[in-house]
Every structure is written in C-alpha cells, then in structure tokens.
Amino acid sequence: MDTLLIFQNLGISLMLGLLVGLQRQHVHAPLGGIRTFPLVTVFGTVCALLAQVYGGWIVAVGLAGVVATTVVGKMTTPARGDVHRGLTTAFAMPLMFAVGAYVLNGNWSVAVAVSGMVAILLELKPELHGIVARLGDADIKAIMQFVLISCIILPVLPNQVYGWYDVLNPREIWWMIVLVVGISLGGYVVWKFFGQQAGIVLGGILGGTISSTATAVSFAKRSRLAPSSVRAAAAVIMISTTVSFIRVTIEMAVVGQDFLLKCVLPMSVLVSVAFLLCVIGWYGTRKETQAMPEQANPTELKSALIFGALYALILFAVAATRVQFENSGLFVVAVLSGLTDMDAITLSTSRMVSAGRLTAETGWRVIVAAAMANLIFKAGLIAMLGHRKLFLRIAILFGILVFVGSVLMATLP
C-alpha cells in the first residue's frame, strides 16, 4: 500500500477516535475518553495493515482483545466517586504490540508516526482533559452538528446537476456549506478558549473568521455605550475586515486554484492595503484589550440551510445573468449579494470560473465589487448603531479600501 494512503487511513482513524472520545470524555464515561478511543481506532487500522501480510485472523484477534479489555475494565471499574485509572494503558499495550509486528514487514515511517502519536496521547492527559472540561454542552452540540453536516448529510447527496443552466449540484452546494461552516466553527472554538481574554489583534482575527459583519455590529453597539472604546473598536473592526478578505481568498483557492493564480495581484493589493490600515489603527491601541462579545453557534442546521439556499440562488442568478445579459448584470448580483454575505458570491463566482462559464478577469472583479458593497453595508450599520466618532474612523478606513478596489477594477487587465 502507498505510504501516503497509509498515513491518510491512520489520520482518519485518529480523527474518528478523537471525535467519539471527545463525546465520551464530556459525559465522563468510565471506560474510555479522548485518549482511549483514538488508540482503539488506530489499533484497528494497524491490525488491518498486519492482516495484509499475515492474514485476516489478525483483525479478529485484535477485536477479541479490545472486547476482552473492555469487559475486564467494566468488571473492575471502581465505584463512582473513587479514582478510576482508566483503560488508556491497557489499549496502548496491544497497539504497541501491533506496531512492533508491523515493523517487520511494513513501513518504518508509519510505525514511528504511530508510536509518536501514542506517546503524545499518553503525555497530554491533563491538557486533553482540560480542553474537554472547558467545552460546554452547547460547544459539544456545535461540533456534533458539524459532523452531521459534513459526515452524514454530504455523502448521501446526489452528485449530479439539476435545473436550468446546469449549475445546481446538491453535493457541490452542500460542500460549500461544509467549507464555510468549518471555517466559522474553527474561529468559534478558538474564541471559546481565548475570546474573553483576547486582545485587539486576536479579537479582530476571530471576528473575521466567524463573521466580520457580526463583529462590526457588536463593537458598534459597544462604542455607543462606551465612547472611550471607539479607537479599539475601530481597530477590531478593521482587522476583522482584513481577515474576511483573507477568508475570501482562501475560499477562492479551495474552489479553484487556477482562478486564484489569475487574480492574485488584485487580491494581494487589497489585502496589503487593508493590513497597512490595520497596523496604523492598532498602533495607537496596542496596549488596550477588548473582550469578544458572545458568539452564536455557527453550525446550526437552520443557518446552514439558509446559506445553502442563498448560495444556490446566487449561483443560479450568476449563470442566468451571464446568459441573458452577458457580464453587465453580474455586478448588480454581486452588489446585492455582498450587502449581506461575501461567502456565497465568492464561492458561486469561483465555481463558475472553474467550470469555464466565466472568465477569471470578470470573476475577480465581481468578487471585489461584492467586497466593496459589503464595506458600504457595514459602514451603514455602524452609522446607525455605533458612536459618531467610530463611524467617522470607519468611513475613512473603508473609504480608502473602496477607492483602492475601484482603481483595481478600472485599471488592471
């Protein structure tokens, strides 16, 4: 078996074990937690690798060993309230036995990697248990909802095109939902651990990862109640906006790498100017701290369905506009979409470019136009909800970005 494929299989086993172990650890299951279940799944994979050399009986023996260990552990589990020593070592020993057997006829690098993983799981007991202890029921629910979205719903959706203009593919649409929700979930998990103590920079980064628009609204409201926080709020909003540009660039790269290569210049200029404005805004507030406001669960199925419907609608609108009005109507769609959501128009446009239905030159202009519309929309929200001084600062910063974006659209080929 190819070495890369072996590592992929081991990685999947490890992640699946961590997923189930996380849930078991959260409910304080006595027989296994966040370290034991990864050891069990990796043990099964290593036994399967050994079975390719020694025969399928290896898997049967390995399963029997796991069952026997579980039964013995269940029988010897101390009464509730006593310190339970767990089954981690009991599962680590047969796994290392399997690794030792695999070394003889297998790939040494695989054996070394598995052994290192076992050592890390054994060593990081306090840290791993501490992570689970800090996750509440809502956080575990968010992770499990993402599993529902990505691992259960996605594989069963049909992978074929429906409807007019041949652009609505259920699996591809849901894959975009998984991508956007996954990025937001990553920011949400980091916020759970660092958000309340986040400085301005980290607060802006997390805000842009989860939702730059929600961040702008939250800090605008805060500035009206506490005018002294205007400078810090402006810095956080500007950083989150810059991160949202980077997020858009990442989405373009995931959907179509060729498309990203053709628009790297305008996106680099836009991100660089935004970054420079962030540095200028942050310098005067670098010693201040800003706790992140409470963040909503980004994995709610309702929100995912709404985004999926919006993405499909915009994808259809872009295709229909391209056929009926060529490129002239695309920018109207981009502006209307950018007022509320940048992800949908970015992903739909990137998908159209990758499919050859739209040129890269038109594609990046559509995305930049949507980004400019989103800036104007956020500035309007800040004007309505925030302190007047905050709006003046944001108006200047966003105005510079809108000017730069307009120049790029007008001058670059």
Q: What is the pLDDT of residues 179-189, one digit of tens each?
A: 878 877 877 77
> What confidence score (pLDDT) does residue 109 get?
74
Rounded to whole angstroms, how far apart are CA atoms 105 and 354?
A: 44
Predicted confidence at residue 276, as pLDDT, reads 93
pLDDT at 297: 66
Is it the case that residue 267 has pLDDT exceeding 80? yes
Q: What percentage of the chain carries pLDDT values higher than 90?
A: 15
Q: What is the pLDDT of residues 186-240, one digit of tens each?
A: 777 776 766 555 567 777 787 788 788 888 888 888 888 888 778 888 888 999 9
3-class state of residue 145 by DSSP? helix
Q: What percent of the chain has pLDDT over 70?
A: 82
Considering only CA atoms, which of 392, 327, 337 is closest in space to residue 369? 337
Which DSSP string do the residues of 86-106 spell out, in sequence order? -SHHHHHHHHHHHHHHHHHHS
Give the CA distances from residue 36 to residues 21, 67, 133, 149, in Å, rounded to whole numbers and listed in that order.
7, 14, 16, 26
**Is residue 59 over pLDDT 60?**
yes
**Lowest mean per-residue pLDDT among 36-40, 72-76, 171-175, 303-307:** 72-76
pLDDT score of 295: 63
44-53, 56-65, 263-272, 315-324, range with the lowest pLDDT:
315-324
Domain extent listing, the chain: 3-134, 137-411
| pLDDT computed for residue 383 by the predictor | 92
CA 214 to chain centre: 17
Q: Residue 81 — very low, low, confident or very high, per pLDDT cuts 50/70/90?
A: very low
Query: How far apart are alpha carbons 148 and 397 in whole angstroms?
Result: 40
In sequence order, the β-bridge partners of residue 82 are 80
* Residue 296's pLDDT band (cuts 50, 70, 90): low
> pLDDT: is 37 or 111 the higher one?
37
Which pairs with CB-CB distance under 8 Å and at least 24 residues apart come from 384-389? 385/217, 385/220, 385/221, 385/224, 386/219, 386/220, 386/221, 386/223, 386/224, 386/233, 387/220, 387/223, 387/224, 387/227, 387/230, 389/223, 389/227, 389/230
Encoded tokens for 127: 């840290």
Task: Identify residue 132 by its one-letter amino acid code.
Answer: V
Closest CA to 19 of 181, 140, 180: 140
Q: With 90 as the cut, is the pLDDT of residue 292 above it? A: no
Tell me which of 141 and 82 has the higher pLDDT.
Answer: 141
Q: What is the mean pLDDT of residues 308-325?
A: 78
pLDDT at 82: 46
At 35 the pLDDT is 80
Is pLDDT at 115 greater than 70 in this prediction? yes
CA-wise closest residue to 21 among 125, 95, 97, 123 = 125
- What pLDDT, on the 0 to 100 scale, is given for residue 210? 78
On whether the CB atoms of residues 105 and 53 are closer than 8 A, the answer is yes
In this predicted structure, what is the pLDDT of residue 29?
Answer: 61
